[in-house]
Amino acid sequence: MKNPYVERIRRRMREFHRHNPWRLDNGLYIPHAYPPESERAALSWWDDVGFVLNGRRVLVFWRHPRCVYRDAIEAKAMADVPEPSTPDVFDACFHEGSASTKQWRKLGRSRKKVVSTTLQAPTEEWRAYFDAVRKRERELEDSGIDFDVTPSARIGWCSTATMIDLIAPLEVRSETDVRALAAFAKRLVKRETILAEEWPGYHYGRAVWLAESDARAVIEQTLA
């Protein structure tokens, strides 16, 4: 028996795609440009791609396990450094109405309206906090943390598309790679494969992170 809610969502997806045509490149929505082969980094971190399946859009948000691992390092660094007791400029601006200067524009002879808001510079206390967080991040990047990442896929729906949050040890550095990512995601959606069969027993942890340190250093030097 069909689920009325699911069928209603699917119908809305088809209607949205039919009334809002997608500009596709050989069947794919590719939002990013890729450098020539001579300029590509050895490691990749995340990417997005979209395609149409059964008249409905599918959006793939892919992350490599090393990206998830790095995010965990950043989160631990922020947790290890105590925050200042005073609010930061964003909290002070949006919750307390201070730490910002309003920019006005005249409307006619006597009226005016706010067109922008300029935040004040962070206080020395918050600057010291961010410096301490960055220092802690570098320490954790050099030593690694006790954290393992395994391949996973989470599929969700909205009224416009099916969304796939995919964590998989692929390397996506070119248009050819992103097309391979889309093909793999399509196989997942159609249940032609599962992650456990593609990468049995895989996990990304401290040992792999440290083994890639030289490759990350090359990327950082290139971006510096």
pLDDT in tens, 52-102: 999 999 999 999 999 999 999 999 999 999 988 877 766 665 555 555 677
What's this model's pTM, rounded to 2 decimal places? 0.85
Asked if 64 and 181 count as a contact pair (C-beta separation under 8 A), the reply is no
List the domain boundaries for the chain: 4-74+151-223, 84-140
Looking at 67-216, which runs of residues are DSSP E strands?
Answer: 100-107, 111-119, 152-157, 161-167
- pLDDT tens digit sequence for 106-156: 887 778 887 887 767 777 888 899 999 999 999 999 999 999 999 999 999
